[in-house]
Every structure is written in structure tokens, then in C-alpha cells.
Structure 1
């Protein structure tokens, strides 16, 4: 700029060169560049040894759609007489590829979804639970940006339909279109570039009033909302060294974590709209279709009725279910070598149990389904339930009386009612606490004969001890003083 300013002042290349301190030819060249409208800072391109081969390089790059490697191009131009180095070739190939990308760059237009039209969903790899792989079903309502993430064990079609049903019921309605990629559960074939839909997927969409659409194969940009939801969910829910999340103890813990994540992210203002998705969902709900009362049971499996003992029958084998589904209908299907049981919950359809397939005569009963019966094989001891005044008076003595009656009834003691009356009379004279303690000692020692209770009371009154020194009648104790007497007989 100093050169051009000096020339404008003197109107002489020689004088401008003297003022600036450069050569007169430099002033002339800069002035000529400015007068021709070119950038004075632009350097002229020098002739290179690879220039005669540029047309061939551009041809190779164009035929390969910008995928050819520079070393392959170098071999081709060397065979045509190029004597330069591979470095020169790499620079020329890089320039040709950049020019190709500039000419074939994909044009984008911002997608502005309408409310009530689009729901995108996709699958992501979930964390391992008890050594088993899990899947994350991620859905994204495009206009409101409302997200739903559900855990699952697999990506089979029945699982997909169950997740869709749960998602739509959690949203509160059904949109016009369901957009996803091209898994085998949605697209079974492609003919002339047209996707052939899975009949069950089409039937499920018709059941909910939605049209199933798929994106272009190998083109995740056409459903970027769901892809981004998968990325965020995996970053926040899958334990890694970066987020330091602990491993999940069971599937229920993962399900709870997904529910908390959805509540948190839907209540946070979205960056694009500045409004929480849960608030935008309220505005979008009037644009959604009403959901049917029943789920699409064709893909969920066969219906079964849960009995009062929390079991269902599948191919003459009993399988247990969690508490709370007695008398209700559930849906059962086979996944590999497992039986999957799906039930309707407060938040929609959910997998409530999964069993290994068994054979008739070998039921599958899980202890965690019966927390009120931790050990189903143990015989339950009946508890005393007094009905008469005499029974009430005796059992009111305390826990010792309850233990005495239980043991006496199990042993087959004679005249139990008379002995109970004697104990009540003794309690009125000696006190309830002493008699109850004596009854506990009698129950522990197995002494139920006439006079045993009075003898125990006398013993407790003299020694002032409890039940710690009581010797029970069992195989560990014997009344024989020793074996010394047998030695005299030569034994």
C-alpha cells in the first residue's frame, strides 16, 4: 500500500521507487496489477513439471468420485513420462480432490418440522447388565424436541413395537410419520432402490395411525435428530472412564436411570428453541392423533392370563411374574432360548420377566418375584389364633406361651387345655413374666408332662437363670454318664 500511495502522489514509477526504497520495476508491476483489478497480494502461479499431466489427474479423480489414492495416480503419471517426485503428485491430487468436492458438495436446506408430523427413532448400544448386552431405544419428537429413551435386551420386532407403544403413550399421542433407518425389522428388501417394508411394521403403523418412513441407506444426516439423541444418551447412561458412572446392578436400575435422564433433559431449555421440550409438547399434543386403547398385540406375542399364584402357563410350563399382575392379561413371546413376558404398566408396555425356556414338569419360579415368600420349599409353621376366652388368656401370657402351645401341639401332648388352664392360674399367683419364662424353657426342653411347669418354676426361682443353660433332647446330648462301665464287661 505504501508503494501505491507513493505512486499516486508522484505519478512516476521512478519517483515512487525512490520514496519507498524499492526497485522501479516493482512499482510498475504493482500498479499494473491494481489497474487490471487483480489482488496485488496474489502471487502468480509458476509453471510446474506436473502441469502437462493435470488433465489426466483430474480425469482419474473424477472417475473415482474423489476416492483414488495419490500413490496410484503417481504410478499412472510416471508411466506417461512424469519425472517429478511423489510429493508433487500428492499436492496436485489434493488440489484436484478439493476442486471435485467443491463441485459436488451436498447442498443443505434447514429442515423446519411441523408440529404433530415426525417422530424419529433409532437404536444404540447400551451398557452391560449382569454381563449381558443391552440396547437403548431412542426416540425424538421433531417439533417439540421431546426425547424418550427406553432400555431393552434386543432389537427384535416385538421389542421394537413394545418400545414404540411405550413411547407414544408417554408422549400422549401419535404423529403422522415414524422415521428410522433401514433395519431388517422395518425394511426387508430393496428393489430398484425402493424399500420394501416389513408387513408387521406396516400393520403396527396402521394400528397407531402412523406411516412408517425410512431414511436413505448409509445416510444418518437424513434423521440427525435421532442420531444426536443416541449420542447424548450413550454419553450420559453408558458407564465409561470419562463419565465415571457405576455399573448397573440389574435391568430395573437401568430402566430407572433412563427415566430420570428423560425427565431431566426434557425439563431443560433446548438450545435451538430456548424452551423446555416438555412445555413445547403441551403445544404439540393437540396436533397428535389419539392412541388406541390396546397395543398392537400381533407382534407382542400371545396373550396369557396371570393366575393368583403369579404364574402363567406357556406350553404346559409355569413361569412366574412379578407381584401386581394377578388376574390381568400379559403377552408372551419366545426370544432365542428365552420366554419374554410383557405387561401393561403405568407408563405403557414394559418387559416384566424373562425366563429360560423349560419343559413340562420343570416350572420356572424366581424367588425375587415372591419377596413375601423368600423360600417356597420351606414348610410354614402355623401361628396360634385364639378363639375362646381360655385360649386368649393363655396366649396373652407372652411369647413363651405361644412357643409352648406350638411345640405341644406338634408333639401330640395329652390334656393340653387343662395344662393351659393351670399355667393361667399360676400366672395369677406368681406373675405373668415368671410363668411365661417357664413356658419358654419347657418348650425349648420338650417338657410337657404334669408337674413339669411347677418344677421349672421352682428351678428358676432357686437359680434365677433363664433359658441359657437348658439342655435340649437331641442327638448331641446323652444321659449316659460314660463308657467306663462297659470296660468291666470286656467290651
Structure 2
């Protein structure tokens, strides 16, 4: 095979003398070689392309292509080699690997899926997906991850389950954080969204269709394995899991409560929406202000039809469901809530600041065994009595500081006598020494259980002396005031 330079010299020599023999003499080759390259040039054929020679595997290529087609390009060359060897192929495995590679390339060229770059429009698309959340108190959680495609504004909400009422609540809160409703909401093909596929077309869950109609948006499902349409929400899931899940990389400690996880998710959203996006070169929170002009208005009341049965919260901050009393946070007394069963749990939701949210969750109980949680009630209603002034003297004493209430509780529990007189002495001392000094003295007196009449003044003087000297001098055996026994050393010596 001649090089490109040699072929150019041969053609140039022929163009000069117009003779195969003379051109061959000029460049030093055979006249037949000159004739062949000139003929190829006249036919418009690349002289470097040679006609492929027959190979021993050519007669087995139909079988190889059949195996590649049946396996959709997944069959291995070792499997193909075993099969064609069994039907008479005598070549080595290297030849088979080359043939299988060529067959797979041809199959991919004919079946390649082409992705068109997705260019979002303002107010047109929002997407959501689910991520696995951290365990809280040994219970599994999930991360609702949504984003507004044009502005790249992200919303992450921790939840306990992925049921339709939870999706409705998350959609409502997401739209309120967006400041409006987009035209379309894109998500994955989960059973809560699509109940079936007919002729490769998704059949939407009737509850999800009702939610979409309520908010004036269209809920759609994406094509499987389509990064161009749903890659943004999947990236949000990846970022949220990297930041919120306790790992050895981020050194985040385990969450003590579900409220801690919610606070961490809100802080994550604030931070990521304030950062400059690498593609738009703008902060998502800044771009959101512009996109809000293209969003639809949000209904004043949240969608509640999927939340279950309606209940009125009684004065004892409980509701009745299936003959059992369940407590709810006391802030919802006399309000309306919705209750439903979610597996072995009772879920209670309410509308808080215009958005539907879960406010309580109980294990299913039986009649006669109410489920009451202490955190749903203020401290005073759980048997913890708080000091509350009933006259000017008590008000003046409690105004000294937090330690005044601590002193009252400790002194009352110790059965202290003449407490009102000692309280007046403390108020008078605050006018002389200042409320801060008396507050510190009351805290020290409570800790040391000193409730005598002059304890406050003594402690104040001691604390003032300690502040002046900077250290406390304590008695020890080396500095004793007791007389020694040296005078008795000579006793009985005579």
C-alpha cells in the first residue's frame, strides 16, 4: 500500500507526461501501479480503500448478527464463540470478538436512542422525584425533591411516606414556595401516579388527576431513562441526599427528631437556591422572581379531599377516630383537621398558613386505649406548674429574673417558712445590688438549698468578693488555725 505522498507523486507525474510508462520511470514504480491509481481517481474512489478480503468467519456472520439482535446487543463474545464453534467455526476467539464488536456497533447504529436537548420555558415545567431519607427514631423517611425547570429553584420536604395524601400536601407546599403553579408537573411512573400503561401510554391515577385539576396544572409522567426531561429533579435528589443524610463525608450527626430533619432541609433549600447556578449563571432565588410572572395563581385553600375524614378538635386537643381518642397539637383546638389510616398508623393533617401539612401521627389504637402524646400539650397542662404572679409583690419578685421562679419552686418544695418576707428582702436587694446580682444569688441559693433570711445578702457579698479576688481561698491541713501538739513533746521527759 502506497502512502498518501507517494500516491500524490504518481498522479502528479502522470498529469505531467500523460503516459503510464514515463510516469512510472519518473517516480520509480511499475506502470501498472500508475494505471491503477489513475483509474481509481477517474472513478472517484479513495485509493486507500481496498476491497475487503474473504474471511473464514464471513459465512457465520448471519448467525452472529442473529444472536446480537435476539439479545438486543447484550450477548458476550465468549457465548457467541461457543455457539459458532459448535456449528463448525475453526477460527480463534480473537476473530470472533472482532466480528461480535462489529455486529454490536451495527445494531447500536440502527437502534440508537437520540436525546434532544430540553430547553425549558418560564412557568411551563416543574418536576418532582423521591429520595431515601435518613432514619429518625428508627423509622424510615423520604425526601420530596422538586424543582422549577427554568429558574432551577429547588424544594426539599422530608415526609414519612409516599402516599397520595402526602403527595397532595407536598405539591401544595411546593407551589406556595414557588409563588405560583406551573403549566405542567413531570414525575416518574410510580403506582401512586400511573395505575397502568396501555399501548405504552400512561393511565393517570384518578386522585392525581383531581389534584391537577384543582391546582390548574397537568401532571405528566416522563419516558423511562430519559435524562433530558427528568435529570434536574434527579440531580436535586442526589444533592439533597449528599447533604442531608448523615455520612462520613458530611459528618452530619443523626437527627434527634423529625423537626430537626425539617429544619435541616429548609436550611439546605435556602443555601442551594442562593448559590449561583453553573448553567444559568444566576441564583435560582433571583430567577424565581422573574418566573413568578408566568405562573398561575394558587388556590387560597389547599386540596384536602385526599386527606381523609374531617374531624373537629375538641377542647382537650383530641379527635375521635374509629372510637379512639387521638391527640393533636393544642394550637389546633376548635379547628378542623383531616384523619386517615396509613398502614398501621393514623395520620392527622391540617391547613397551616394556607398550606396542608401533617401535624400528628399515631400508632393505631383500640377503643378504651386513647393515644395521647405529651408534646401535643403545653408544659402547664402536663402536670408541670409554672409560677404566675397574682399580686404586685409576686410580680416584682418574678421580675428579678428566671432564677426567681426556680427559687420559688425549690423553697416551696423544701417547706420554707416566711417566704413572702424573704421575697420582699430579695426585691429590696435588687434595688441595691441590681437585678442581675440578685438573680445569680437566687440561682446559687436554690442549688445550695439555702433559704434562711440573710442567705441572699450573704451570697451576693460572697460573689462580689469572688469577683474581686478572682479565686477562692479554701482551708487545708497545711494552714490550720488549730494549736499544735509541740508543747506536749517534753511532757513526762523528767
Maintained 8 Å contact 2:141/2:159 = yes
* 1:298, distance to aligned residue in structure 2 (A): 1.2
Counterpart of 2:292 in structure 1 is 285
The answer to whether 1:235 aligns with 2:228 is no
Give 1:100 deviation, angstroms.
1.0
Secondary structure at the residue paired with 2:320?
strand
1:143-182 aligned at under 5 Å gives the runs: 143-182=150-189
Q: Which shows bigger deviation, 41-50 or 218-227?
A: 41-50
- Correspondences of 1:69-218 after superposition (within 5 Å): 69-217=76-224
RMSD value, Cα: 4.7
Q: Which residue of 2 aligns with 1:428?
A: none
Whether contact under 8 Å (1:61, 1:68) holds in the other structure is yes
Paired residue for 1:376? Answer: 382
The TM-score with structure 2 as length reference comes to 0.70
Q: Which moved more, 1:356-365 or 1:218-227?
A: 218-227
- Cα distance, 1:4 vs structure 2: 5.5
Partner of 2:321: 314
On the 8 A contact 2:300/2:354 being kept in 1, the answer is no
1:175 is displaced (CA, Å) by 1.6
How far did residue 305 of structure 1 move?
2.9
Mapped contact 1:138–1:150 kept (Cα < 8 A): yes
Distance of aligned partners of 1:342 and 1:24 in 2 relative to their CA distance in 1, 3 Å threshold:
farther
The offset of 1:14, in angstroms, is: 12
2:254 is paired with a residue whose SS is coil
Q: 2:340 maps to what in 1?
A: 333
| Structure 1 CA distance for aligned equivalents of residues 220 and 173 of structure 2 | 19
The answer to whether the Cα contact below 8 Å between 1:170 and 1:348 also exists between their aligned partners in 2 is no
146 and 407 in structure 1: CA distance in 2 versus 1, 3 angstrom threshold: closer
Q: Which runs of 5+ in 2 are unaligned?
A: 399-403, 425-444, 455-494
Cα pair 1:202 1:212 within 8 Å, conserved: yes
TM-score by length of 1: 0.71
| Structure-1 separation of matches of 2:365 and 2:412 | 40
Change (3 A) 1:14 1:124: farther
Name whichever of 189-198 and 150-159 sits farther off. Answer: 189-198
| Residues 1:251 and 2:274 are matched in the alignment | no
Q: Output the CA distance in 1 between the equivalents of 2:410 and 2:228.
A: 78
Match of 2:369 among 362, 370, 379: 362
Provide structure 1 residue ranges, at least 5 long, that are not aligned to the other structure.
Answer: 425-439, 445-452, 458-491
Partner of 1:479: none
Q: Answer yes or no: is the 8 Å Cα contact 1:122–1:137 preserved in 2.
A: yes
Report the CA distance between 1:163 and its aligned residue. 0.7
User: Following TM superposition, by how much is the alpha carbon of 1:210 offset from its aligned partner in structure 2, in angstroms?
Assistant: 1.4
How far apart, in 1, do the equivalents of 2:223 and 2:408 lie?
76
Query: Hey, what does 1:432 align to over in structure 2?
Result: none
Task: Report what 1:68 is aligned to.
Answer: 75
SS at structure 2 position matched to 1:246: coil
Which residue of the partner structure matches residue 301 of structure 1?
Answer: 308
Change (3 A) 1:66 1:361: same
Q: Aligned partners of 1:334 and 1:118: how far apart in 2?
A: 32
- When residues 112 and 363 of structure 1 are mapped into structure 2, their CA distance, relative to the original with a 3 A threshold, is same
Give the secondary-structure state (helix, strand or coil) at the position aligned to 1:84: coil
Check 1:34–1:257 CA distance in 2 against 1; reply closer, same or farther (3 A cut): farther
* Contact preservation (8 Å) 2:115, 2:228: no
Counterpart selection for 2:269 from 248, 262, 274: 262
